[in-house]
Amino acid sequence: MKKGLFAIILSFSFLPFFAQETEDVSVDVTTGASQQVHKSKAKENLNKFLSRLHIGGYGEAVMTRNFYSQSFNRYKKPENFKDDKSHGRFDLPHICLNIGYDFGKGWTMGMEVEFEHGGNGTAVEIEAEEAGEYEAEVEKGGEVNIEQFWINKEFWDGKFNVKAGEIIVPIGYSNAFHEPNQFFTVYRPEGEYTIMPNTWHQVGLSLWGRIKDWRYEAQFLSGLNSESFTAENFAHYGATSPYEFKVANTFAGALRIDNYSVEGLRIGLSGYLGNTFRNTLRTPGSKYEDVAGRLGIVALDFTLNRWNWIVRGNVDYAHFSNADEISAYNQANWTHHKYQDGNPHHYTNIGSSALAYGIEAGYNILNFLPCRSPKKEGRHKLFLFGRFEHYNTMASGTYKSMYKYTKRYRCAFGLNYSPIKQVTIKGEYSYRFFEKPNNNGLASDSPLYKHPYNNEPSISLGVTYCGKFL
């Protein structure tokens, strides 16, 4: 019995070898090819597929302590909020997954899915306290966006390309270079983020390429929607749409040119022009027949990466025509729709111009270490940085005096440590401040006395990644 059991075990032990041998010599009855040939072709096709597939992404996890009031009324009566306690926040500002594929013959595809602030969540529950009714509840805030989805055709070795789909609108530094390893601060640069959409993406057509030291890009897009402009954020929300589609009653154009002639230096100039009024499903009255709401933006930015220094700077100016007429239109709509549920628009006054400028500089202090070997060059990096910026969403316009708190300054300094190229740990102290009002010697208890806005310091810590997985 033991011998029989041993024989059975031995037989099962050799089964894989017999199976392998049989597999090697098996023949496809349709083509006559051996099974092994099919496996080789499958492996070859898989390798070819993987060589054309790109998967990457970036993400940020942030912790912040704000040493100022979080009340939405803190600018209306600042004296009431000067002694408010500090507030803490944990956040996932951006988590993005990039997928790209090369179809061959110059055709490529790219897609980016972005989860802002951790995405959003809703759930349907049966409420026992409400007689078993179904109830939809929002369990967390956040947004999920298709930030990019395009098809690109390359001509003449990249000198000319045609791209169509959901594309990035590269106006200003922060839209063209918005990944977390492209700025020192824990959050994206505040000025450009406030006055313009960020990251600005729309469905459109792009013609772009690179010729020697010049890169160019020209885009045709739908216009922004002035009903989503605000006093405090200017055109920031103008690219969004509450509908399942983007209204395109008006059109716009964008242009960007970058030069790389000097080693380690990039200089970029970008501009945008388009009408924004009537780019909605609501039709204004006849008295707004001549109102266009033309928005023009011009931006200059640069990056210097040399001698262990990284220096970045930007200057942005935006002009908005018919600001007074559209502000009046917004106020009329606010009076009419303020009790309407689900109204997605803001209906506030709007400035006729906005501006932002900033500069940041960081030095890799690990360069001072005498034990730093050439083999480890480019691995560990520790940048000590500082940043200054100014921005104003109501730089000019009839309602400028009502929104003096939109004129803001911000200083920040901190560290960026990269143990590997793809990971950066950031820490910073920032100080946002405002101009003090001119009270011309008035007593603080005078009804004409204007209280200064409270300064807004904060401390932030973040960890980020940015790279390719495949």
Query: Could you read off the pLDDT of 108-158 as tens digits, one per residue?
Result: 999 999 988 877 766 666 655 545 566 666 666 677 888 999 999 999 999
- Higher-pLDDT residue of 243 and 393 is 393
Q: How confident is the model at residue 293 (pLDDT cuts 50, 70, 90)?
A: very high
Taking phi first (over 0 means left), then psi (-120 to 50 degrees means alpha), and beta for anything else, what does residue 278 get?
A: left
What is the b/e burial string over 262-282, where b = at least 16 CB atoms within 10 angstroms of the residue's CB?
eeeebebebebebbbbbbbee
Distance CA 7, CA 346 (A): 83
Average model confidence (pLDDT) across the chain: 86
Domains in the chain, please, with CATH?
53-121+132-341+349-468 (2.40.160.10)
Angle between helices 2-25 and 35-52 (to 10 degrees): 70
Instruction: Say which residues have a Cβ less than 8 Å from residue 32's Cβ, sequence separation at least 6.
Output: none
State yes or no: pLDDT of 403 exceeds 70: yes
Question: Are 295 and 272 within 8 A, CB to CB?
Answer: yes
36 or 196, greater pLDDT: 196
Q: How many helices (H) and strands (E) does the chain have?
A: 5, 19
- Pick from 284-288, 326-330, 416-420: least confident: 284-288
Instruction: Return d(Cα 169, Cα 241) in angstroms, integer.
Output: 16
By C-alpha distance, which of 244, 245, 205, 247 is closest to 226?
247
Beta bridge partners of 206: 163, 219
Rounded to whole angstroms, the Cα distance separating 439 from 420 reads: 53
Q: How sure is the predictor about 102, in pLDDT bands with cuts at 50, 70 and 90?
A: very high
What tokens appear for 424 in the block?
A: 């950066």
Contact between 194 and 236 under an 8 Å Cβ cutoff? The reply is yes
17 compared with 56, residue with greater pLDDT: 56
Do you find a cis peptide bond into 348, omega within 30 degrees of 0? no
**What burial letters (b/e) apply to 166-184, b meaning 16+ CB within 10 Å?**
bbbbbbbbbbbbbbbbbbb
Q: Per-residue confidence at 243, pLDDT binned at 50, 70, 90?
A: confident
Q: Does the pLDDT of residue 17 top 50, yes or no?
A: no
Average of per-residue pLDDT across 193-201: 94
What's the whole-model pTM score? 0.85
pLDDT of residue 138: 65
In terms of DSSP bridges, do strands 309-320 and 353-364 run parallel, antiparallel, or are they unpaired? Answer: antiparallel
Structure tokens at 165: 């789909």
